[in-house]
Amino acid sequence: MLRMRLTRTGAKKRPSYRVIVTESEFPREGRHVEIIGHYDPMTSPATVKIDTDAAVKWLRNGAQPSDRVRILLRHAGILKAWEEARLADKRAAKAAASHSA
């Protein structure tokens, strides 16, 4: 199963993180499928930069975000964009089913 989670980068006592898509069995610092953003909690306010298109693409393909990544996605407005895309897909499927019937 694919997961969206954080992997640590940065110096000792100065953490920063990458938001990655990876297999759930891979270790935190192990292989990843794609880097979709970064998160720096040491700035004030914390810096969050996530590629909206890539994140929505992976969410639509079934990637499950970790708890912290879900919070970051919510603050960035990506979960709302994903929900709108999901509802648009449902409407399109419903319209196609009603036209073919």
Domains of the chain: 2-100 (3.30.1320.10)
Banded model confidence at residue 27, pLDDT cuts 50, 70, 90: confident
For the chain, give the percent of residues with pLDDT over 70. 98
Tell me the average pLDDT across 41-67. 93
E strands, 1-101, where?
2-11, 14-23, 34-40, 47-50, 64-65
How far apart (Å, rounded) are the C-alpha atoms in residues 22 and 18? 12
3-state secondary structure of 28: coil
Closest CA relative to residue 73, chosen from 3, 25, 4: 4
pLDDT, one tens digit per residue, over 57-75 is 999 999 999 999 999 999 9
